[in-house]
Structure 1
Amino acid sequence: MYYNLITMQNYNEQHILTAEVAQLILLHHLYSQSGSHVLIFQGGTALRWCYGGSRFSEDLDFVFSGPLEKVDKVLAKALKNAEKEMLPHFGPGALTVTDKTVRSSSRKLMVSWQPEKVRRRIAIKLEFEPLSPQAIIATANLVFSTLPSVSYLINKGSFRIPRPNSVLVTETPAEILSDKVRALLERKYLKGRDFFDVWFLTGMLGVRLDQELVARKLAAYQWPFVAARGFDSFFAISEAQQAEMIKAIEQDLARFLPPQTIAVHRATGYRAFLDAVDGLFRQLRDAGVHLP
């Protein structure tokens, strides 16, 4: 989330709870709209809400098929309804939507709620990336109110929408893992969240690498894949390269995990995260997967 127009730099439990409730309001109203089946929920926030992920994730990321106009139509209705729900959750305020779109075929919005009596605003970035016509994405349909992470906040009284039984279309864990492979290869700068998510998917959820899904994912988006690094950038690395990875992990995850959790992993040199990513790319190399 963004507060006071800047990215949250340190983990703050209360700020995170507020941001997560706002995420749920938006998710519910997006998937309550006719035509929302073209949206596929993905990324770290999908892990958080749909598969029990333990780290905070700040953006709502989606891929979609079909024309962008359908996405815009769903968004227009969802945002109008979400605005009405912000009031009972956060008090009087104003909703603003800022278009941050860079590529004409995609959509990127910053949705902000500014409470009247609180200086700090709640802001959530939504990103929608178009799939290529031939893309095949493994998905699951999940009833929103039955997701354990959601029902916990319902029972706690933090999320107060009556009968939020919208159906989320989300990537399967194996599909999300293939996204993480692409992100690690493609990002200009490494992000610690990707290391953590690979560890969570493979170590905590027991997700097995599916080479076919990875190969498909590299060609799945309309925006072409361009590798910033190869498989061997993650194994048999030098001490200097490992130090850079640890620095990326430390700096990024400080915003998304409690300090005590960071301390546990720091004490091991983030070995579990590094080993999970090392093993992932060794498997891809040994399976003969080639980058396009």
Structure 2
Amino acid sequence: MGVRSFDEGRIKSAEIIQLITLYNLFSRKEGKNIIFQGGTALRWFHGNERFSEDLDFVTSLDMAQLPTLLNSLAVSIEAGIKAQFGPGTFTLRHKDRGREGSLTAFVEFSSERQRGKTTIKLEFEKLKAGASPGQEQVILSSAPAVSYFIRTGQVMLPPGRVINVETVAEIFSDKIRALLERRYLKGRDLYDIWFMTETLRIAPDIGLAKRKLEMYDHPFTLARKPECFPELAKHPEGDEAAKAREEIDRDLSRFIHEGVMNVLRKDGFQPIFAATGDTFQKLLKDGLDLTGYQAINDGRGTES
């Protein structure tokens, strides 16, 4: 099976289901202990053009509470989706991610009016006791991207729902951790760093970056050294940069309109490499030291 390309119809359906799910999740009292983060938070609340398929959250709740909470939301989420799309088959399922302090859930819907199934993924990470990332309380319907969907009749949401959303600086530090920790480099993380530095004018904060490495129950493990990102920017013709360009193209082509992708391809994604390289160069200059963190030993030479 080939890599999926940007599919505007599929994306619109998924985004509508995201908004319905967000609205219902934060309708419960448990919502005060849940914080929305990640690429989809950038999309809805900070103007990122990149589609994101996941709803990412951090929480101080006991992870054992989440299945019960999600099951209790199924009826209202299903009703909201069917009010939007008409009759169809709905499921909400969840599973342990196989590591302590995390849970994944899936909301799936197959409409009788159109072919195919729309799926969104929810991911929850447990915060360490006493840890709390910077956050803002935002009225869902007042966010410009959400308001546009409501005004144009693409989604029906009652007003007044308040969402806990990580600050941009916190999302930025999450992306830094993700780039260091993911086994496989994802173009979406690199793109989001570029978007936040160039559009939102966010600068790396060594204090936030260090704090983020210690914020979750699941311990941070090092998949790649921070020095690799300045090296990619300095040597755009090298083999590693070529591999990274392939990964960026393969990953982002599912999440960004073809016209935007063509503009990014024109420069070989160099502005993205430069923004990421500058970010890690500043962190290293400010004293980022990952000595003592366990490294993933998968034969790629990432151990230090």
Q: Give 1:256 deviation, angstroms.
A: 0.4
> Aligned pair 1:75/2:74, yes or no?
no
Secondary structure in structure 1 of the residue aligned to 2:174: helix
Provide the residue aligned with 1:45 in structure 2.
40
CA contact (8 A) 1:136 1:216 kept: no
Within 5 Å, give how 1:177-196 maps onto structure 2.
Answer: 177-196=172-191
Within 5 Å, give how 1:107-146 maps onto structure 2.
Answer: 107-146=103-142
Moved more, 190-199 or 241-250: 241-250
In 1, distance between residues paired with 2:195 and 2:74? 32
Identity of aligned residues (%): 39
CA contact (8 A) 1:108 1:128 kept: yes
Q: Give 1:78 deviation, angstroms.
A: 2.5
CA contact (8 A) 1:135 1:216 kept: no
> Aligned pair 1:283/2:282, yes or no?
yes
Corresponding residue to 1:32 among 18, 27, 44: 27
Provide the residue aligned with 1:3 in structure 2.
none
Provide the residue aligned with 2:151 in structure 1.
155
**Which runs of 5 or more structure 2 residues have no equivalent in the other structure?**
294-304
In 2, distance between residues paired with 1:104 and 1:114? 32
**Alignment TM-score, normalising by the size of structure 2:** 0.90
Q: Give 1:110 deviation, angstroms.
A: 1.4
CA contact (8 A) 1:114 1:120 kept: yes
Q: Give 1:8 deviation, angstroms.
A: 7.2
Moved more, 71-80 or 56-65: 71-80
> Aligned pair 1:200/2:200, yes or no?
no
In 2, distance between residues paired with 1:280 and 1:7? 33
In 2, distance between residues paired with 1:51 and 1:71? 27
CA contact (8 A) 1:36 1:74 kept: no
In 2, distance between residues paired with 1:8 and 1:221? 32
Corresponding residue to 2:171 among 153, 171, 176: 176
In the TM superposition, structure 1's runs of 4+ consecutive aligned residues that sit over 4 Å from their partners are none
**Which runs of 5 or more structure 1 residues have no equivalent in the other structure?**
1-5
AA aligned opposite 2:167: T
In 1, distance between residues paired with 2:62 and 2:158? 32
Secondary structure in structure 1 of the residue aligned to 2:227: helix
> Aligned pair 1:222/2:222, yes or no?
no
AA aligned opposite 1:248: E
AA aligned opposite 1:129: E
